[in-house]
């Protein structure tokens, strides 16, 4: 808190006039970061994609776009939630929302008969959700040194090969 206050150019105590405690501060910052990074225009590119497969690819591209922008708050929240019930609730809400968007994309695939056989919507959506998590991005980009482009290409290939029905392809 002392460091945050110093960077903000206010006294440490002033922070407590705006945020009840450390957790609340993190939560509000993460919500702000979320809402500024995730613009409606970007979401529209998924919703208005001509085909289900295009929406699928756009959804992965959006994740690749968002991850580096949200990595600070996302990992902070992820660490915080181990010791803080409030942070855990916030994290679950956040990821529940992301899972729902994943389900939406997979549902569209299914409706168009593009979901590979052997998969149902909830299961495929959860795999999609888990593979496009912040943590996988962290492992590949932060630790393994992949570029955003490499991440996007390979994760797209992985999920396409696994989840998309293969016809003429």
Helix, strand, coil: what percent of the chain each, to 5? 80, 0, 20
Binder to a copy of itself among 82, 85, 167, 168 (CB under 8 A)?
82
Contact between 21 and DNA by CB under 7 A: the answer reads yes
Q: Which stretch binds a copy of itself (CB under 8 A): 5-13, 14-22, 32-40, 134-142?
A: 134-142
Positive or negative torsion for Cα 50, 52, 57, 60: positive
Q: Which does 75 bind (CB under 5 to 8 A by kind): DNA, a copy of itself, none?
A: a copy of itself
Nearest approach, Cβ of residue 102 and a copy of itself (Å): 12
The first and second tokens of residue 37, run together, are 């990074």
How far is it, in rounded angstroms, from Cα 95 to Cα 104? 14
Q: Does 23 bind DNA (CB under 7 A)?
A: yes
DSSP states of 116-169:
PTT--HHHHHHHHHHHTSHHHHIIIIIIS---HHHHHHHHHHHHHHHHB--S--
Nearer to a copy of itself, 26 or 119 (CB): 119
143 binds, among a copy of itself, DNA, none (CB under 5 to 8 A by kind): a copy of itself
Which residue, 107 or 133, is less far from a copy of itself as judged by CB? 133
Among 2, 40, 113, 118, interactor with DNA by CB under 7 A? 2
């Amino acid at each position: 808190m002392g460091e945050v206050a110093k960077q903000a150019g206010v006294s440490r105590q002033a922070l407590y006039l705006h945020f009840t405690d450390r957790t609340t501060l993190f939560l509000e910052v993460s919500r702000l970061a979320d809402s500024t990074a995730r613009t409606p225009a970007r979401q529209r590119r998924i919703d208005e994609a001509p085909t289900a497969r295009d929406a699928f690819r756009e959804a992965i591209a959006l994740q690749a776009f968002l991850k580096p922008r949200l990595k600070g708050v996302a990992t902070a929240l992820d660490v915080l939630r181990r010791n803080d019930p409030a942070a855990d609730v916030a994290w679950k809400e956040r990821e529940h929302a992301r899972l729902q968007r994943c389900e939406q994309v997979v549902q569209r695939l299914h409706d168009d008969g593009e979901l590979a056989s052997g998969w149902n919507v909830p299961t495929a959506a959860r795999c999609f959700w888990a593979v496009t998590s912040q943590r996988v991005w962290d492992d590949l980009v932060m630790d393994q040194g992949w570029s955003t482009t490499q991440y996007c290409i390979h994760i797209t290939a992985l999920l396409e090969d696994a989840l998309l029905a293969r016809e003429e392809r």
